[in-house]
Structure 1
């Protein structure tokens, strides 16, 4: 069966929980513990049950088997620095124990976890974020050229075969996580320069925001590390038209090469599942923004949009894209 655009977006937004009242609901949710922090009423993430026994929990945590809750039990008046230190000590102890392979990819870069008011509650080491199923944030940039002779073509990157995650898969032109304290536009301009050698000043002058997308992904085997971890994410997406003859060039070990592909070639790669899942949905977003995928030619248009803007059941902060 030919893979459709709807299949592409559903591969990324692939966390499917039972509807309220379904008989399978109880068994489904027994696979997960909710992640909470003392002093905050919201659920902040979901931790798979198989991970619970692999983490070296300290006295700073309360693990409630009945309610299936993991709570960082720092004082309700604790600062985010105190909470973050308690969390990092737990992760470091787990890393030394060697029970979770993802912790061997320590980056010394943190992601924020927000409370209901939009304040940073705690910072978590990037490589550990999926263990707790928290909402993470990132930026993605797709560069293109458009001329009278060859029409619209996209600059597609190929990830290095040595990448920790999704090695060798196709990607957008530049992308990266959004660390604590970094704004989306600043992050994407840095990624464009660091990953594709696109001058910062050129990007700043010509970049166009396509808006954020949100989805809830379950990590598979191509992601690297433990499988079945949950990743609710918000990605800030951008497009950038390059001048004819302007060629993205890998400037670090993240990207193996860049190639200019037609829309038809790119669609075929999507059908073949050659793209990193959350890069694939950015390609779809670009095609929608530029009128290539529309209600007139795509029967699943409304459902596709719903998978690009999934409501997430955790505290989420949306920054300006510009």
Structure 2
């Protein structure tokens, strides 16, 4: 059965909404422990109860309260980000040693930031572990396209068959996660070169920053590792209009190939559910911004627009 655009958005923004059913939402939250840092009142993420049970919590480093369903990193109030990070790193190193979580088999040696209210940098953690804590993560996605008198065509990537996450699914032209201290534009330049062989000079001339997409994803089997982990994300979006003569080619092992597809070909592949969930959402965002998807031709337009710009329940940072 063909998937609607709203179906695709719901796959990506899959965490329930309080406004839809308050009783169900509050009941659903009982499946999680809130992640907190000593001295900071904000909730920074959600860990599934099943994940909390599997961790070997290090005494004095962590406080786990089953009654309030909280997991608190117990650095001294006002501790440095480095001190908090060391506590997190000890916990994850022990989990790796014990082979506790499948998701950690994809250890990336990349650090993701965790922010408190007002964008305060609290600590950082290994990228592959971030879904275990359900923290907000940040990334960039870009859509390379060609437009002429015959219409618009998109450079669509096919993910590698051996990739740990979402193997063989369709992807945006280039995308990637933002490490601690990395700016969206710098990340986009790096990913464009690494994944799509787009030189920095071409990106600088032709790329346009077009906003952000936000969603709250519950990981399924396609994501690799444990299912049911939470992945709230902020994705900075770039459009890159290229010359027809500019051919996109894979530059690393993460991309199987690229194909230049018409709008109709992209739409049909979306209906077949061939796209990585957040990449489908980025394409839908492109359709909205370019007047391809409108309130006049899509009955679910308002809900689609709202759900790809979700207000996340955790503190977030902005990048100026």
Smaller-chain TM-score bracket:
over 0.9
CA contact (8 A) 1:159 1:166 kept: yes
Aligned counterparts of 2:199 and 2:26: Cα–Cα separation in 1: 53
Q: C-alpha separation between the residues in 1 aligned to 2:282 and 2:69?
A: 35
Alpha-carbon separation, structure 1, partners of 2:161 and 2:21: 45
Query: Are residue 126 (structure 1) and residue 127 (structure 2) matched?
Result: yes
Alignment correspondent of 2:82: 81
Q: Are residues 1:192 and 2:166 paired?
A: no
Within 5 Å, which residues of 2 pair with 1:68-107?
68-107=69-108
Q: Give yes or no for contact 1:18–1:28 (8 Å, CA) kept in 2.
A: no
Superposition deviation, residue 180 in structure 1: 0.5
Query: CA, structure 1 residues 23+8, in 2 after alignment: closer, same or farther (shift >3 Å)?
Result: closer
User: What is residue 171 of structure 1 aligned with on the other side?
Assistant: 171
Counterpart CA distance in 1 for 2:21 and 2:305 is 26
Deviations along 1:205-226, one digit per CA (max 9) or x if unpaired, are 1101120111000000000000
Is the 1:210–1:286 Cα contact (8 Å) retained in structure 2?
no
Q: CA deviation at 1:301?
A: 1.1
Q: Which has the higher mean CA deviation after the structures are superposed, 52-61 or 120-129?
A: 52-61
Listed as ranges, the gaps of 5+ residues in structure 1 are none
Q: Structure 1 residue 318: deviation in Å? A: 2.3
TM-score scaled by length of structure 2? 0.97
SS in 1 for 2:209: strand
- Distance, in Å, in 2 between the alignment partners of 1:310 and 1:21 is 17
RMSD: 1.4
Q: Deviation of residue 24 (structure 1)?
A: 4.1
Report the CA distance between 1:77 and its aligned residue.
2.1
Is 1:147 aligned to 2:148, yes or no? yes
Tell me what 1:312 maps to: 312
Q: Distance in 2 between matches of 1:22 and 1:216?
A: 17
Q: Per-residue deviation at 1:103?
A: 1.0
State the shift of 1:27 in Å: 3.7
| TM-score for the superposition, normalised by structure 1 | 0.96
Instruction: Give the secondary structure class of the aligned counterpart of 2:117.
Output: coil
Distance 1:285 1:117 in 2: 27
| 1:256-281 deviations in Å (ceiling 9; x for gaps) | 10001111110111111100000000
**d(CA) in 1 for partners of 2:201 and 2:255?**
22
- Residue equivalent to 1:291: 291
CA contact (8 A) 1:56 1:91 kept: no
Q: Is the contact between residue 139 and residue 178 of structure 2 (CA under 8 Å) also seen in structure 1?
A: yes
Q: Are the counterparts in 1 of residues 118 and 317 from structure 2 also a CA contact under 8 Å? A: no
Cα distance, 1:296 vs. partner? 1.9
Report the CA distance between 1:20 and its aligned residue. 9.1
Query: Can you list the C-alpha shifts for 1:46-75, whole angstroms capped at 9, x where unaligned?
Result: 000110122121120000011010000110
Deviations 1:285-308 (A, max 9, x none): 111111111122112111111011
**Contact 1:3–1:271 under 8 Å retained in 2:** yes
- Structure 2, unpaired ranges of 5+: none
Distance 1:252 1:2, change over 3 A: closer
**What's the secondary structure of 2:9's corresponding residue?**
helix
Q: Secondary structure at the match of 2:71?
A: strand
Aligned residues: 319
Contact 1:55 1:99 in 2 (8 A): yes
Measure the CA separation in 2 of the matches of 1:118 and 1:210.
22
SS at match of 2:268: helix
Q: Once the 2 structures are TM-superposed, how far is the Cα of residue 21 of structure 1 from its aligned partner?
A: 8.1
Cα distance change on mapping 1:24 and 1:305 into 2, 3 Å: closer
The alpha-carbon deviation at position 29 of structure 1 amounts to: 2.1
